[in-house]
Amino acid sequence: MAHTTTHHITEWNNYHFNGPYPTKCLFNIDTDRNIVSLIDRFNDSASGIQALIKDSLANNERFRAYGSAWSLSNVAHQSDRMLFNASLNIRLEVKDSQLHPAKSYLSENLFLFQCGNTIKEISEFLQKKGKSLKTCGASNGQTIAGAISTGVHGSSIDVGSVQDCVVGLQLIIGPGANDLIYIERESRPALADEFARRIKSRVIRSDALFNAALVSLGAFGVIHGVVLEAEDIYLLKRYVKKISKADALQIAATMDFTNARFKLPDEVLRDGTVNRPFHYKLYINPYNASEDFVTEIIYKKPYRTNYPNPVPFVQNAIFKDIPTWVSAFAAKHKRIIPKILDALRSEAFPKVDEVIEGTLGEIFWDTSQSSAAFGCGFGIDIADSPKALDLFIDLMNDKGPIPGILSMRFVKASEATLGFTRFPTTCILEVDGVPWKGNQNMISLDDFLTDVIKTFRDNGIGFTLHWGKNAPWSFPNLVDLMYGNADDQWKDMRSILLSKEMADLFSNDFLNTVRLADYRVNIAPNFVALRDAIAASVV
């Protein structure tokens, strides 16, 4: 049986020290390595999690699984019982005989990963198979379940977010024999029913349910298995250039590199064709409006083995060497913040004119920081990005200054119902830095971000917020403001899948705050047939 240890605790914190939060009990689970068969070991782990769920129900306590604790928001936290699942890292290749008859996938590109695999572990595993993830976040410490649950976006212009590479999910939705389910899209089935039976799951094929469960915020049960589609391994060639604000924002608002004023000579072919980048990111000092933007442009290239090791050049994270005292110092001497940030640009920004090559897992390497950190990400339609940036910078100067540096990344829309990269091409406007508390000299982080929300709303700029980052999540009707009616469909799907008892067990303070914990007894009429089909399905 899977090995579980129990720790009675009083508080829990995330990786970036945004807590602590009160917590009663922490479980640590690991697979039973005496079980030789990986599929049997995988199934045994699911049984172990179900036993914990059963005990939580018996004790009338809520339950939530987490992996790397990467989220800066409290989305991963549960005040009753928490399950640390980062040791559940089984990886299985999919065989051609396991594919669905109507599949559109190649078996060589499909892999089943247990929930605790980190993005780094997955990248290293895939590289040995001559494969690669299609995209990843800016760093690689998240577990796969956590990454997709909060919509980790990465910065692949034409690919989408991490969850958009998922073709199947195994969820644990209760303690019973019928409470293991395997979900995939009806329009794009991947694996045969027999595969689901091997992992003791009943099969549900529904685009609406699958898209809702992709970014589930932990509310659809425990994500135990994730079937990912990979691709052949490739290299990324990263250029760092200084570009004028006007030229950088011309590209940002259109993603039209062919007709852009700025072009990289090495990426223009002899016939004048302009290569389209894989990734485009702007680094912005908000306290120097006349400064050119440091711009990171990355192109996809065929894989080869004889390239220099890029890792020493990418170990340059903003949080790496910024001690906590910057925050305390800034709160007392806010006029000096722009000078501090100007001096820190060499740590926060990549070196201009540097060109490196590496795999996806090497270019987007480990994030390390020795102190607390904050980060907030707004998703905006690219057409609104220049205006949104100007408004954001004005607020940073008028209400601050604040100890953070801006960046902009660009990602294809996600199919996930509550994926925050929901615009056709989403600009992620991010501010990252060291946390601070407000006082008579300086606005608080929460109050500043509230002002940003109000300013975007009042100026007609549609936006979303990264679920796993800092934000004033209690802002009135925030989810409706961001998603319109999409959250209603998400709630319907959750209420179709879970009993009311289990929906409550998998809820937490974050879901209550953003008003996503509501259970729907009366669902939309067009989903009644799906509800009945799910209720009738068996393993």
Over the chain, what is the mean pLDDT? 90
| pLDDT of res. 312 | 75
Residue 167 tokens, joined: 């073709």
DSSP alpha helices (H): ranges in 35-118? 38-58
State the pLDDT confidence band at 339, using cuts at 50, 70 and 90. Answer: low
Residue 458 has pLDDT above 50, yes or no: yes
Alpha carbon 408 to its chain centroid, in Å, reads 16
Between 234 and 154, the more confident residue is 234
Break the chain into its structural domains and give their ranges.
3-232, 234-358+368-475, 490-536
Pick 138 or 326 by higher pLDDT: 138
- Mean per-residue pLDDT for 47-74? 96
Residues 6+ apart with CB under 8 A from 41: 31, 32, 33, 35, 90
Beta bridge partners of 227: 112, 168
Minimum mean pLDDT among 333-337, 399-403, 433-437: which range? 333-337
Query: Quick one: fold of 3-232?
Result: 3.30.465
Check pLDDT > 70 for residue 341.
no
- Note if the bond before 323 is cis, omega within 30 degrees: no
User: Would you say residue 196 has pLDDT above 60?
Assistant: yes
The pTM is what?
A: 0.93
Average pLDDT over residues 345-358: 73
Which of 107-116, 182-191, 236-245, 363-372 has the weakest average pLDDT? 363-372
Out of 91-95, 227-231, 282-286, 402-406, least confident range:
402-406
Sheet of 222-229, strands arranged across: 91-93, 110-114, 222-229, 166-172, 180-184, 202-205
What pLDDT, on the 0 to 100 scale, is given for residue 310?
Answer: 86
Lowest-confidence segment of 177-181, 343-347, 513-517 by average pLDDT: 343-347
Please tell me the predicted confidence (pLDDT) of residue 327.
Answer: 44
- 249, amino acid identity: L
Residue 300: its pLDDT value, please? Answer: 97
Largest CA distance in the chain: 70
Query: Rounded distance, CA 505 to CA 233, Å?
Result: 41
pLDDT of residue 188: 97
**Which two structure tokens, joined as six digits, stand for 51?**
């036993």
- pLDDT for position 336: 55
Is the pLDDT at 438 greater than 50, yes or no? yes
- Transcribe 167-188 into DSSP letters: EEEEEE-SSSTT-EEEEE-SSS
pLDDT tens string 290-315 = 789 999 999 999 999 999 988 777 66
pLDDT of res. 334: 53
CB neighbourhood size of 315 (10 A): 12
What does the pLDDT read at residue 319? Answer: 37
Q: Looking at domain 234-358+368-475, which CATH architecture does it have?
A: 2-Layer Sandwich (3.30)
Distance in angstroms (rounded) separating the CA atoms of residues 232 and 132: 6
pLDDT digits (tens, 9 = 90+) for 1-42: 899 999 999 999 998 788 899 999 999 999 999 999 999 999
Crossing angle of helices 528-536 and 486-497, rounded to 10°: 20
User: What is the mean pLDDT of the segment spanning 442-469?
Assistant: 95
Spatial CA neighbour of 464 closest among 448, 443, 487, 445 = 487
Q: Which helix (H) or strand (E) holds 452?
A: helix 445-458
- The span from the CA of 226 to the CA of 441, in Å, is 48
pLDDT category of residue 344 using cuts at 50, 70 and 90: low
pLDDT at 364: 86
pLDDT for the residue 529: 92
Decide if pLDDT at 321 tops 80: no
